[in-house]
Structure 1
Amino acid sequence: MNRTRSLADKIDFSTWWHEDPGAIGFTHAMKMELLHSEQSQFQKIEIYDHKDFGRILVLDDLIQASEADEFIYHEMAVHVPVLGRKRKNLRALIVGGGDGGLLRELLVHNNIEKVVMAEIDRRVIELSNEYLAINGDYNDPRVELICDDAARYVIEALDRKEQFDLIFMDITEPVGPSASLFTEEFLDNLVAILKDDGVCIDSDSIFIGKDRIRFLQEASSEEDHSLLEIMRSGRFFPHLDVYRSIVPMYPGAEFGFFLYSKDGFNYSDPYTEHDGKHYNAAVHKAAFALPNWWKNELGFGKGK
C-alpha cells in the first residue's frame, strides 16, 4: 500500500494549521489548538497551543516564537554581540521584540545600562505576557518601552543626538507594520544613532535551493528583497559579519544572524563565560564556522 495514501487516510490534514507558504512553496503544518485570535490595529495576532512545542505566537500567519525553542534565537541574538566585546554601560535599542525574549536576555547582563524597546503593536506585548512564558521584565528600571513606530522613534532619537551600542532588528517580514523599517531613510537614521564602535544585529531564515539560496524576508517581500540584501551594498555599514544557528520552529530551520558595524570588530571570541539554556562559549565560537555554501553564495565569512 502507498505509504502516503495510508497516512492521508488516517489524518485529515485540512484541519491542521499551516504557515503562509508565501513565494517559497514551503510551509510548516501542525495540529494545534487555537487559544486566541484577534486583528489588532496593525496585524493578525494568534496564539496556538501544541502538545509538544507549547504555546506559539503567530503574526499574520507566520510563526514568531514558540515556547519549545524561542530561547535558541533569543540567546544567540543577544549573547554573541554582548559577550563578543568587553564593554561597560551598554545602551541597547530593540526594534520590535514584542514577545519579550530579547529583553529578557539583555537584562541578564550587568553591563547593560539601558534598553529601549520600540514595538509598534502593544497587543503583541500584552498577549505574549498573558500566554507565553518568555518573561521579559518591563518593570526593570533599565527598560524604556516605546509603543510606537520604530522609524518615528529613531528620528526622535537622532534629533536628541542619542546613540546606542547595540541595535537589534527583531522584526517581522517586510510587510504590514514592518514595511517602514526596510527603507533607505530608516537605515540612514539607524546608522546615525549607532555608535562608532557599536553593532546592529539582524537575522533571517535561510532556504537552500538547487540554484540559489533565499531568505524568508526576501520571499515575503513584494519587492523580493531582504534587509541583508539592502545592507550588503555597503552604503549603510561598511562591515558585515555572520554567524548561524538552528531554530527548528522557523522555516528551513537554518538561521542566520548578521552583524553590521562601522569598525569591523570581530565578535567571534567571547571575553567571558556564560551558560544559557542553549548558549555557551563553545557554541559562540562554533557559530562563526560557516559551511562552504554559505561562503560561496553569500560572499562573506569571519569578521576581521
Structure 2
Amino acid sequence: MTQPYYRLKVLAVFLLAIYCLAFFRADSTQESMIRVILLEQNEGGWTVGLLYQAPEASADSSKASAEIQFAAAQDSTLEKALTAAQEALPQAANYRLCDYLLLAPGCSWQTLGDYEALVLAQQCGRTAASVQVCGFDCEELSAESEESEKVLASLLDTAKEAAEISSHLYEKNLSQGLLLPRIVLENGEAALREDSFFLTQSGGAEWDSERTELYRLLTGQGGVRRFWPDGHPLELRRCTISVTCHGAGEFTLRLDCHTAAGQTPDSRYTQWLAEACTRAVKELWAEGVDVLSLGSYQALREGESAYLTPTKNACPQLRTDVRFTTVL
C-alpha cells in the first residue's frame, strides 16, 4: 500500500467518525430523553410524570445543556395521560434510557400490569426497568422542584442507587410478590429509606427494615445485610443459602454467612437469626408467599403430586441452622 493512499484512507476514516459524532449529537438534541416514569392511579384516573433530559437547541451542539426536568399530565386512562405528558415535552420522547419506574401511593399490582402492556404495545419504556415506590405524588414533586433546584437530580441519583435492590418490571410475571425500595423527599432532596413496600396481587404492605433485610437474605439477594439484635449491629456478607427436604413437610434451611471484619460471631446472634428466619418464612407463608420455594423442593423429592402451596397447605416444619465466619 503506497504512502499517499494510506494517508487518504486514514483521513477518510477520521472524517467519517467526525460526521457520525456530529450526527449523533444533532439527533440527541432533538429528543427528550426519559429517565424516570412516575405513575399515579386513583379513582379520578391516571397521572403520569416524566423525569427527562432535553438538551436545549444550540448552534454549537457540544454546548447543549441537559439538566433534569419534570413534566406531568392527568387523564382518564393511562394511555391518554402518557400521551398528554409527552405532548408537554419540548422534544419527542425517547425511552432508550428509561431505567426506572416509580409508583406513587395508591398504585397496585394492576398498575404494573397496565403499564407493562402499554410498554409492549408502544415501546414507551422498558420491561427491564427497576421498580420502586415513592412517598409523594406528581403534584408534590412539581411543587418541590420549584423550590429546590436539586430535587430532580437527586431523585434520579437515588433511583440509580436503589436499582441494586429493586425488582424489575418483568419480574411481576415470575414472582408471587415484589419487594420495592421506598424513596421519599426530605429537605429538598430525594432519600432512600431502609424500610420497603411489598406488593402482591392482593394488595401491598409497608415492611420495616428488619423484615426487609430478612426477605432479601432469604431470597439470596447480594450485598450487605444489616440487623440489630438486642440493639447490637450484625453485618452479614456473602451469605449462602441451602434448603434440604427430608420428607413430606420436613425441611432444613442452612445459612452460611460471613460477618463483617471486626465482628466476632456470637452464639446469641446465631440463635436470633435462626429464629428470625424461621418466623419470617412462616409469616410469609401465612400471607400466601413461599419465599424459599419449599413446594418445589418437595415436588422434586416426592413427586409433582406432593407440591405444596400456601393457599392449600399449612406451612411445613422448618429447622434453620446458621453458621458465621469472620472476615479477617
Q: Name the TM-score class by shorter chain.
A: under 0.3
Greater helix proportion: 2
Rg: which structure is higher? 2
Higher relative contact order (CA 8 A, sep 6+): 1
